[in-house]
A and B are shown apart, each in its own frame.
Chain A
């Protein structure tokens, strides 16, 4: 357990998210809030669970974390204060909705004097329960949240692998080779993100309302999807199949609006930790791959897969994700307004055409929580607005689960119904003939 009364510097990705939070996504109602839903067998005693939370050292430590005051050109830091007594409350909701409206549209602010996370207890009509852990994306990524939840059941984790913030930590460390990587990554991003780029969102609106759909597939269907992916030319992993399917359906959605789609541009997050890592919990440890999909990539899903696989290979060869991570680390010191000015393009409606993220499968070894069997688990990433349409993959027990988060101001209900139907057909290989688009 890390010490209280310590400071920890934000990662490069954290600072990127902080700049967005301050200057862009505050207009979105959900902000940058994520949710992890654990479906549990049987009823939870909410008083016992609340007491457990308030007495647990992991929860006390995380609740003590807040953004520190940033000195000019200094590193932004988290401050961990010592807490004598924690008084978290647990709201109980009676609902059969996976994520009830009051949770998904309740933002958590990193600037409020409250913990950057919240728990909800949902009682289901079939006698089961769910615990929803919601957190602000700035404090941790999805993998960190999984580690945190596991720590509540005694699983050993590393809270932070960074030393306490010292003067030595504040010295920028960059050598010639790293600088070369940074320049290469910046040049690559500038070139690949050049217009014309199409976005799913229309003009920005101040008040938007978030919704979601969950597409669940059983084990046989999930195996069929993997088989379809193979037939479509997937070589190393299903992510390119999913992304190509989503992109071609968003292409159709925009085409039905009468929009001539020329290009999509998407940054896709990549977990920068080693596989099986027990930490760090605090902060976002992500880099990104950047994909540009051209109109010809949508004529058939397999064309999109081919293009995505080639782009993935090229970017890994050029070390773009590492270069971009270094770039984000270099930008940590600059004021967030300048940071936002540097990363945003005023002519654009959004930083991405739409959003896509893929979580690792819920670990088999994480099969119970607070004495209750885990019968389902779903990770909801933040749905940043704009663009306000996010596709997320979160498998559970070898069963594919797709979350589509959207704002009703970005995608209408009719459009969403069509999108869900077409995606299911495409994934299962049930679409009529090969998808002829144009």
Chain B
């Protein structure tokens, strides 16, 4: 499966806006997750979304605060799995 970083970013932003955030809250690929109140449980939900939708399992090394700070960082880290 080939997926562009842009596509992953779009999917993730849509998922976060539709499942985790209240309507009307500004959020894009560059927003830091903590800035909009997304906590550890929300981040786990995002990781599970990646696993379920793209059938990828992020490695232990990839699961770190730097890679999980924004949608852009997450998508950047994911591209190597495709």
Contacts and interface: CB of A to CB of B under 8 A. Distances in A.
Contacts of B22: 273-278
Give the bracket for the number of chain B residues in contact with chain A.
20 to 34
A239 B39 CA distance: 9
* Interchain residue pairs A-B with the least CB separation, the first 9: A237-B40, A236-B43, A275-B37, A276-B22, A235-B63, A276-B25, A274-B22, A277-B22, A316-B44
A372 B65 CA distance: 37
Interface string B34-53: 00111111111101100000
A210 interface: no
Contacts of B48: 313, 316-317
A276 B20 CA distance: 9
B77 interface: no
Given A236-B47, A236-B63, A236-B65, A275 B41 contact: no
Interface residues of A, number: 23
13 contacts: A230-B64, A235-B65, A236-B40, A236-B43, A237-B40, A274-B20, A275-B22, A276-B21, A276-B36, A289-B41, A313-B47, A321-B41, A360-B39
Contacts of B44: 236, 312-313, 316
B41 A270 contact: yes
Given A274-B20, A275-B25, A277-B22, A316 B36 contact: no
A316 B22 CA distance: 20
B41 A312 contact: yes
A196 to B, nearest CB: 28
Nearest to B68: A236
B49 to A, nearest CB: 11
A235 B61 CA distance: 9
Nearest to A235: B63
Contact of B36 (A238, A275, A312): A275
Given A240-B40, A275-B38, A316-B45, A234 B65 contact: yes
A312 B42 CA distance: 11
A317 B41 CA distance: 11
